[in-house]
């Protein structure tokens, strides 16, 4: 049972998390809208 699960990738923990909010930005990456003029 266990080898079949690990082979299919059901046991491994996916460690991806949400990127933190940075100061001065609206979200983690989204900055204020940039206007050329």
Containing 25, the helix (H) or strand (E) segment is none
Band (1; pLDDT cuts 50, 70, 90):
low
CA atoms of 37 and 22, how far apart (whole Å): 26
- Confidence at residue 34, expressed as pLDDT on a 0 to 100 scale: 86
For the stretch 18-33, pLDDT in tens is 989 888 888 888 888 8
Q: What is the average pLDDT value for the chain, to the nearest integer?
A: 83
Radius of gyration in angstroms for the set of CA atoms belonging to the chain, rounded to a whole number? 20
Distances (CA, A) of 7 to 13, 15, 33: 13, 18, 46
């Amino acid at each position: 049972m266990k080898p079949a699960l690990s082979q299919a990738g059901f046991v491994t923990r996916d460690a991806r998390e949400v990127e933190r909010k940075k100061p001065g930005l609206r979200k983690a990456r989204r900055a204020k809208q940039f206007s050329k003029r």
